[in-house]
Structure 1
């Protein structure tokens, strides 16, 4: 037997036989919209850093929230598709603008934090997304209850820490948040597949779920890396 003869079938690597053809097409539209959101968010963040729009943070935050609520309340149809895509674009841009202050803080600490956090987020998001896509249907949907409990714990610890001011509790909450957001990538990806298999083809709103997962992981990593870098500088 020739142990060095390994025929790798790359076509088989990208086959998702457990996912119907229509759902696979739906996922392509979801990830295409996701790529657009990433570009617009990056543009918004760049505009904020360059033009120093920090004083408008509350307005842009409310604008992003308003667009998300408007998008959620507008039914998906061919007639509203272009309108909803415009809402999605505005939401992604304003979300990027709201990342500006955190990006500015990281630049002041160490500019390398931003590409490191982005690369780490991209790797985490890709790995967890592929895990959800290759796993059997509904395999990770049981995580929903645990993830919601995790969000409640994060909120509870944040409220407690307002009075305690504990750096240790704040750091623990950051790492808990990172784990919860990674779990949401698994959960949301499989939930999107399940919804699509049941006839829900609202790729625009499904894109919002994944986009928020990515942004939240990116934000958590930037804060964690920024804190670690600050602690290193203090020790020196």
Structure 2
């Protein structure tokens, strides 16, 4: 009996030690100093890309430049970035900023719509996206190495399903139900990609891939994809509420 209670107490101590605590949040022993400095550079570059996209959105608000040309410019800048050797860091950084600028201008019509409808919606959507990005990235960094990499197959399958849904909707026509499914399902997929891409970047850095520009581009794509979907959801909910208020006033 004594041995049984000793084994139970040792099991409880091991399980309590394996749970998260405040000290575990500061434990980065699984991440080498080189990878930590690489992550700092990646997130700093990401902040610069987000600032460039904000400039692009502002330019669209001023001169209405967002559209097909800016989208093509974004794709062209990304393709050019991947063709430039990694040792030309300044050129690749400039191409990333250009791609972020064009992306911000492409999303500019949606941002202008949100500002015209209610500026607080844009601020709330951005803060919510930033909080979600910070939480999911922190979860991926603090977790054990390669713990979330299994999500890659599930997320790829979900993304292919989302593409097929959009393809079918373009042929048979969009409906409110399919639009909601695409919107919320896409949001769930890209939230998962925030976790997966962060851990993949850490593993690639451990293997010697320290291309911070490419890694910042990956996280920037996830951030914009989540921001756009959250903004659309909030705009739709706000418009539905305003329509209900107008109906009540008329009745």
Common fold, TM-score beyond 0.5?
A: yes
Contact 2:25–2:142, Cα closer than 8 Å, also in 1: no
In structure 2, the residue matched to 1:66 is 76
Residue 45 (1) aligns with residue 57 (2): yes
Whole-Å Cα distance in 2 between the matches of residues 142 and 229 of structure 1? Answer: 37
Deviation of 1:167 after TM superposition, in Å, equals 0.5
In structure 1, the residue matched to 2:28 is 16
Q: Which has the higher contact order (CA 8 A, sep 6+)?
A: 1
Structure 2: gaps of 5 or more residues: 1-20, 246-251
Q: TM-score, normalised by structure 1?
A: 0.91
Deviation of 1:12 after TM superposition, in Å, equals 6.5
Whole-Å Cα distance in 1 between the matches of residues 82 and 185 of structure 2? Answer: 28
In structure 1, the residue matched to 2:229 is 220
Q: TM-score, normalised by structure 2?
A: 0.85
Deviation of 1:22 after TM superposition, in Å, equals 0.6
Whole-Å Cα distance in 2 between the matches of residues 52 and 67 of structure 1? Answer: 20
Give the one of 73, 83, 86 matched to 1:76: 86
Residue 144 (1) aligns with residue 152 (2): yes
CA root-mean-square deviation: 1.5
Whole-Å Cα distance in 2 between the matches of residues 225 and 150 of structure 1? Answer: 23
Structure 1: gaps of 5 or more residues: 1-8
Aligned residue pair count:
224
Whole-Å Cα distance in 2 between the matches of residues 60 and 93 of structure 1? Answer: 9
Whole-Å Cα distance in 2 between the matches of residues 211 and 11 of structure 1? Answer: 30
Deviation of 1:75 after TM superposition, in Å, equals 2.2
Residue 27 (1) aligns with residue 39 (2): yes
The residue correspondences of 1:192-207 to structure 2 (distance < 5 A) are 192-207=201-216
Contact 2:155–2:189, Cα closer than 8 Å, also in 1: yes
